[in-house]
Structure formats: structure tokens, C-alpha cells
Structure 1
Amino acid sequence: MSDEITAATVTITGHGGDEIEAYLARPTGPQARGGVVVIHHMPGYDASTKEIVRRFAAAGYAAVCPNLYTREAPGASPDDAAAAARASGGVPDERLVGDVDGAARYLNGLDGANGKIGVIGFCSGGRQTFLSACSLRIDAAVDCYGAFVVNEPPAGMPASMKPLLGLAPDLSCPLLGLFGADDKFPAPDEVAILAAELDKFGKTHEFHSYEGAGHAFFAVDRPSYRPEAAVDGWQKILGFYGRHLNA
């Protein structure tokens, strides 16, 4: 399979019929393919997130990242847009679900779409991935150290961030969770609580925790980057999507 891709900024229809900016990357070949919605982290719709979108395209998926901060700060830099979103209380859960649904519909409308959708997010996007997978019909979800799924966030976090554990019975698809054993948000005990809750409801999930890794161990541009954990994590992500999104 060729890893030749195209990438562009596009407009998609999000929650409430709003037109929002998004970043799309996809392979150039004719093969049928699944789609991946990438939910950006709290720092925003930035270069590192767009690189993740392109990575999925090179792996054979159509991938799109909606700019969740389009409404608060259209055209602003990622830092300014993230600050504006935080000041307004963060992205409301209902709006997030509508934007992810719009992104999934956009992917399924592309030539070559096989109708299967995965969702992935890191940090706040991990929490929002769990929310999306419990609110929409998704085929595979990847939560990379999603914070505040189990516990209340500390003071100073956006008001929209509330625990989601009560949604566990509604999980619509297999869930892959990748966590750092040294992380505090979520800490290992929170991950264990989430796993137990999913077990209770018979929900398919696969959790991995990496020793020596804390929060944001996938982030190549941060001191928190842990190459061994990140390389293994990417292998698990692509294997997981290969099992659940390929026609």
C-alpha cells in the first residue's frame, strides 16, 4: 500500500448545523478505507495534532480533526483559541458530541469510505473520546490518558469537564486505553476504576499502562515524551484500528 496522501483544511457541519473548520488527510489510492476522527487536546488545533491526522492517512485511513474552538476564536492561533475556549468554560459536552458526529458523517461521505469510524483523543481529547463512544455509534475508540473520566477535575479546569463514569453502560464499541503509570490525571487507581466499571457492564476494552511514563508520553515536542511507550502505543493503536475499521 502506498503512503501517498493529500491534506487540506476543510469545512464540516458540526453541532447545531454550525460550519466549523477541520483538517483532513487521506490516502490517494482507490481502496476502501475506514475513517478516524482525531479529537485535539486542550492546547488546541495545533501542528502536532495535524501531524497525527497525517499519520493516520499514511497508515491507510481518512482522518479529520475538527477545530473545536472555531466558534470561540475563528482564525486565531492555537494558543489564543485555547485561551478563549478556557475562558468561556471549555467545550460543552453536547457540542463536542455534535461536532464529532459531524466529522464522522463527513468521513463517511468521502469516496472510498467503508462506513466504519474510529475516534481517538489525547488528554482532554481522551475524555471526549470516551464521551463520543458512549453517545454515538462508533466502531472503535482510543483513549490516550483521558483525564477526568472518573474523578472530578481540580480547581481551575474548564467548568464543562465533569466525570463520565456513569456513561459506561452506553459504550458503543471496543475501547483501547493507553495510560502512563506515573500519570496523576488519570492516576492508575482511576484507570482501575474505569476498567472495573466496563467489566461490570461487559464492555470490550483493552487497557495498557506504561511504567516510567507520565502524562503526554506521546508528545514528541515535550519533555514528557517517552519513545519506548509511544512506539509501542502507536503499534497498538494501528493494530486495534486494523482489526476494527478495515472492511
Structure 2
Amino acid sequence: MIAEVVAFTGHNGDRIEGYSARPTAAEPVGSVVVLHHAPGLDFWCKEVVRRFAECGYAALAPNLYHRRGPGHWAEVAAAARAEGLGKAMPNDQVMGDIAGATDYVKSQPGSNGKAGVIGFCSGGRQAFLAACDVPALDAAVDCWGGSIVPQAPDPTKPNAPSRGVIHRAPDMSAPLLGIFGNDDTNPDPKQVDDIERELTRLGKEFEFHRYDGAGHGFFATDHPHYQQAQAVDGWKKVFAFFDVHLQSDAS
């Protein structure tokens, strides 16, 4: 495995840094763009990147807070959250960065020409939107992305996004996998029902998996909501999905 910090061209031609890992095997492999959660590109997200490389994928996690300035990832992420994720990461900017990351991974010598995206928390919402906005993607995984359906403003979270992105679902072109915890509050089970109902109505290719006894962030080993059994099964679902959609040469 080779893991390193790389740079690629993002939205508006901006230079964006990201954490990359890839296997050393000679045969071409599929690629995965990993979208970090609200805490930022932290140790766990980098572990996720290396997990994909260990399992035979090239992976890149763009630092979506990169424009907030240099510094330790935790300080940069804190500044972005204080500003408000909607302001720090407007949708068009994030989609441009994801498109740039997708182009980058597909252009690498070891690529088989296919790329997917996976996101967690805020990154899950962004992965859902990318499935509708970035046509170069071959698959997308939304892990408990909140605020996909419109939310009533929460006075305790004045900087949280409230406008949903479900209205973009007619444009969805990539198959979607959703992973959710039934104890989560954003998205709660009703919100997941609403998303599922709309995707079914539109005839989109998707599959959702929901886990009892799991809340928000239940994959993250350093998170208080980590649930081992549910996370292990969820990861099996993720790799089975990507194996189908990414691990064969693009025709």
C-alpha cells in the first residue's frame, strides 16, 4: 500500500489537498472518493482511505475544508463548523471538488476507469447530491447523510443546513447505497422513509440498509456511537456494492 498527501484541481481551478492510498498490485483497480464527516479529515477518515486500499481500491479523501486555511485539520474543521457548513462548503463548491477528485482518481495509471463516492454524516449528504450532479461517478454510498429532506430550523444548531437536496433526485444517475441507523435523529427513520419513497417513485437504482441499535456515526471506531456488529455488517454491504459497480474495467 502507498499512502500520501496529494493535490488535485477542484472547483474553480482551486488547488485542493487530499489523503490518498492505493494498493501496489499491478492490475487496474476501481477508485473511491471518500467524503469526510463534519469533524473533518480526521484520523478515522484516513483509516477509511487505507481500508479501501487494503481491500483493493485506490481511494482519495479530499479535504473539503481546505479553503479555510492552513493549520492542523482539527483547527481548520472547527473554523469551518463555526462559520456554518452551508457557508464553508456550498453545494456547488463541493460538487466541483468531488468532480475534480473523480477526474483525478480516474486519470491515475492504476485506474480501471471506474470511480465511486462514499460519504459519512455531512459527507453522506454530499455523496447523495454527487450521485445527482457528477456524471463521471459510477456508484455512490450515503452513510447516514442528514438534511437530504428539508428540515425545520433548529435553534440549537443555527449554522446547520436546513434546505434539503431531495429535489435533485430526478437527476440521479449513479446507483446509490444507503446505510442508516434507526436510532439516528438526522436522518431519522421517517426521513429515510421519505427518501426511499421518492427514489422508488422515480425508479432509481438504490438499496437501503437500516440497523437497529445504531445511531449517527456508528462506523467510526473513535465515536461514542460506534457499534461493532452493525458496522461490520455495514462494511460488508459497502464492499459488496462497490465490488459490483467498480471492480471491472470500464467499457
**SS at 1:184 equivalent:** coil
Of 88, 102, 116 in structure 1, the residue corresponding to residue 83 of structure 2 is 88
Q: 1:145, 1:178 within 8 Å by CA — same for their partners in 2?
A: yes
- Cα distance in 1 for partners of 2:77, 2:222 equals 18
Q: Work out whether residues 19 and 61 of structure 2, in 8 Å CA contact, stay in contact via their aligned partners in 1.
A: yes
Structure 2 letter corresponding to 1:237: V
Q: Secondary structure at 1:71's aligned position in 2?
A: helix
Q: Which residue does the alignment assign to 2:163? A: 162
- Counterpart residue number, 1:98: 96
Contact 1:180 1:217 in 2 (8 A): yes
Q: Are residues 1:230 and 2:226 paired?
A: no
Question: Post-superposition shift, 1:160?
Answer: 5.2
TM-score by length of 2: 0.93
Letter in 1 for 2:53: A
Q: Which moved more, 1:228-237 or 1:149-158?
A: 149-158
What is the 5 A alignment of 1:205-244? 205-244=206-245
The alpha carbon displacement at 1:157 in A equals 4.8
Percent identity (aligned):
51
Correspondence for 2:60: 64
Alpha carbons of structure 1 residues 89 and 47: separation in structure 2 relative to 1, 3 Å: same
Please give the TM-score of this superposition, normalised by the length of structure 1.
0.95
The one-letter code of the counterpart of 2:118 is I
Cα distance in 2 between the residues matched to 1:146 and 1:233: 15
Q: Summarize deviations over 1:205-233 as a string: whole Å, max 9, x none.
A: 10011011111110111220111100000
Deviation at residue 159 of structure 1 after TM alignment: 5.6
Aligned to 1:142: 141
Write out the 4+ residue segments of structure 1 that deviate beyond 4 Å after TM superposition. none
Aligned to 1:131: 129
Runs of 5+ consecutive residues of structure 1 not aligned to the other structure: none
1:46 counterpart (28, 42, 64): 42
Give the 3 Å change call, closer, same or farther, for CA 73–139 of structure 1 in structure 2: same
How far is the alpha carbon of 1:73 from its aligned partner? 2.2
Instruction: Determine the structure 2 residue equivalent to 1:107.
Output: 105
Note if contact 1:151-1:190 (Cα within 8 Å) is conserved in structure 2. Answer: no
Distance 2:143 2:161 in 1: 19
Residue 67 of structure 2 aligns to a residue whose secondary structure is coil
Letter in 1 for 2:154: P
Aligned counterpart, 1:24: 20
1:172 maps to 2:167: no
User: Matched residues in 1 for 2:84 and 2:223: separation?
Assistant: 26
Unmatched 5+ stretches in structure 2: none
CA distance in 2, matches of 1:161, 1:63: 30
| Aligned residues: CA RMSD | 1.2
Go from structure 1 to structure 2 and tell me whether the alpha carbon gap of 1:85 and 1:200 turns closer, same or farther (over 3 Å shift).
same
Deviation at 1:29, TM superposition (A): 0.9
Q: Does structure 2 retain, via aligned residues, the 8 Å contact 1:117–1:245?
A: yes
Instruction: Name the count of aligned residue pairs.
Output: 242
Q: Distance in 2 between matches of 1:17 and 1:221?
A: 34
**1:87 shift after superposition:** 3.0
| Residue identity opposite 1:49 in structure 2 | C
Post-superposition shift, 1:154? Answer: 2.5
Alpha carbons 1:43, 1:78 under 8 Å: kept: no
Aligned-residue offset at 1:161: 5.4
Q: State the distance in 2 between where 1:41 and 1:102 align.
A: 19
Determine the C-alpha separation between the residues in 2 that align with 1:172 and 1:157.
Answer: 32
Partner SS state of residue 140, structure 2: strand
- Alpha-carbon contact 2:150-2:162 (below 8 Å) kept: no
Tell me which amino acid in the other structure corresponds to 2:220: A
Partner SS state of residue 21, structure 2: strand
